[in-house]
Chains A and B, each alone.
Chain A
């Protein structure tokens, strides 16, 4: 059954059509990759789903309920949480407190919040940094914290915006393992990533955006052979993986 249905969603900024009439479905438990050249509208689409921007047209249906145009905090309470492309931890709070914000204000609020926050940190491998101020974390750890915070809210659908970009190979492999284990826990994931090897290796299905429009929606091996996709990436080679 479809958990998320994006129906004819557009988002304009003045005359610019950042997202243009996109239809997309994400099934329960699926891991869908969202790719496209720079400026294709991937992050804008994420922000529309997360409630940061209201859609200019179209509907976002989550769990059979329309969530398009709701405030981000209400969207979070429905069960959708996103991470930010440019990490934005609360710098003067500790790592544990950062996660605690999501745990205390998020979608699932049961049990002892500190205990739950610790469990989340344990899960993402940041437990040893729990009492460090977020501003003192390294970039890989900040990216992990971004994921941990989002997980703390207890999402049904997790939107991951380039959580692997900028990491070295070892770190990237660790984060890929983390994303797989999040999926095993039953969380549905929609992720943006530029690294083809990552996205091909993780996704059940890949949606390709180009100039705000959807140009492909298929399993990884099919997408990498799609002439339209190859044309969109002209000059780059998406099949190198």
Chain B
């Protein structure tokens, strides 16, 4: 890979990292204010509006997944198209332990998350030898394999194609589900912020930009990738368990679906892969699109197109456009626009600098 290519690839990771310590602190304060505002708006109005309650619940789950995917896919640059496997394992482990073994719901949730993390370590180590494209393909294989195993050989346990139904006992009301998801998304945001500024984060950014250079400097790249994948899997596993407890019905074709994996990639890429805020922006946009267009259809020359049927194609197109024109997603776009405004304000300074440069080189 040439230096140019490496620089291009890492622009995304750098998008919000170029900030000095002051700017980072601003992000933290901004994040806290945003979180407080979300709590105030959604938290205080929650009993009054049950539609908002449910939409909020979904938004928080998706945002959590997007942030969690970004830990390994963004910071570490290990593009996984197989995160559905963690979602499904979390959902099924939680549901089965709670229903069949009578485990306490909270313990069942944690067991589901732990199961997903352990599973990630088992296939993560061999797969991390693969780079880029090959790793991405392999993750699709893993997720599809787990779906098929859950669907057929484990039919007795998972309910196969007809799914698995849970009793309503211990499901908790909409309010408690909402609060659980809210707490999880805030915790995930803080985790993401912490990783970004930690030794782990620095190592991930380094191996993302240049694995060979990172290894020469003592970074155990395989270990860091495995740690970040396990952390990511743990969080996504939690969202699976929470989903199962909220809907009381899970099906291998739903929870292990390829579209679940794709959604996580999409949200991060739309918002800005490798950035702190990007995955949140991406999740909001994705959820709004799904919510507004989920049932939309268009009739063209007597043929009716359902959004549901063409969405993967549309998202694919969007993905391609973003990767081509703005690899740092919305965050990159905002920064570019902000940079242009700042430059317009600073034309005076630029002119002075150019004059200085001309004098130095003796060029009239």
Contact = CB atoms under 8 A, between A and B. Distances in A.
Interface of A: 50, 52, 71-73, 76-77, 81-82, 84, 86, 88-94, 97, 100-102, 104-107, 113, 131, 133, 135, 149-150, 152-153
A105 B217 contact: yes
Given A90-B205, A93-B209, A104-B199, A133 B217 contact: no
A216 B126 CA distance: 44
Contact of A91 (B7, B20, B215): B7
Contacts of A52: 212, 216
Given A101-B202, A133-B14, A88 B217 contact: no
Given A52-B212, A73-B218, A76-B218, A131 B20 contact: yes
B3 interface: yes
A84 B216 contact: yes
A12 to B, nearest CB: 21
B203 A105 contact: yes
Contact of B219 (A82, A101, A133): A101
A50 B216 contact: yes
Interface in B1-31: 3, 6-7, 10-11, 13-14, 17-18, 20
B221 interface: yes
A90 B213 contact: yes
B220 interface: yes
Interface string B203-215: 1011001101111
A152 B220 CA distance: 16
B209 A92 contact: yes
Contacts of B220: 71, 73, 105
Interface residues of B, number: 27
A52 B214 CA distance: 12
Nearest to A92: B14
B218 A107 contact: yes
Contact of B10 (A76, A92, A131): A92
B217 A102 contact: yes
B14 A73 contact: no
B215 A72 contact: yes
B218 A93 contact: no
A81 B219 CA distance: 12
A53 B81 CA distance: 31
A100 B202 contact: yes
B216 A72 contact: yes
Given A72-B215, A102-B218, A135-B7, A88 B199 contact: no
Contact of B216 (A76, A89, A100, A104): A76
A19 B165 CA distance: 65
11 contacts: A71-B220, A81-B218, A82-B216, A86-B3, A91-B7, A91-B10, A91-B14, A92-B7, A101-B203, A105-B218, A152-B217
B17 A93 contact: yes
Given A88-B210, A90-B206, A76 B18 contact: no
A76 B206 contact: no
Nearest to B221: A73
A59 to B, nearest CB: 21
Given A84-B213, A88-B3, A90-B213, A106 B10 contact: no
A86 B1 CA distance: 12
Contact of B210 (A90, A102, A104, A133): A90
A104 B204 CA distance: 13
Most A CB within 10 A of own CB, among B6, B13, B216, B219: B216
Contacts of A97: 202, 205
Given A105-B203, A133-B18, A90 B209 contact: yes
B212 A88 contact: yes
B215 A73 contact: yes
B276 to A, nearest CB: 14
A71 B223 CA distance: 13
Contacts of B205: 90, 92-93, 97
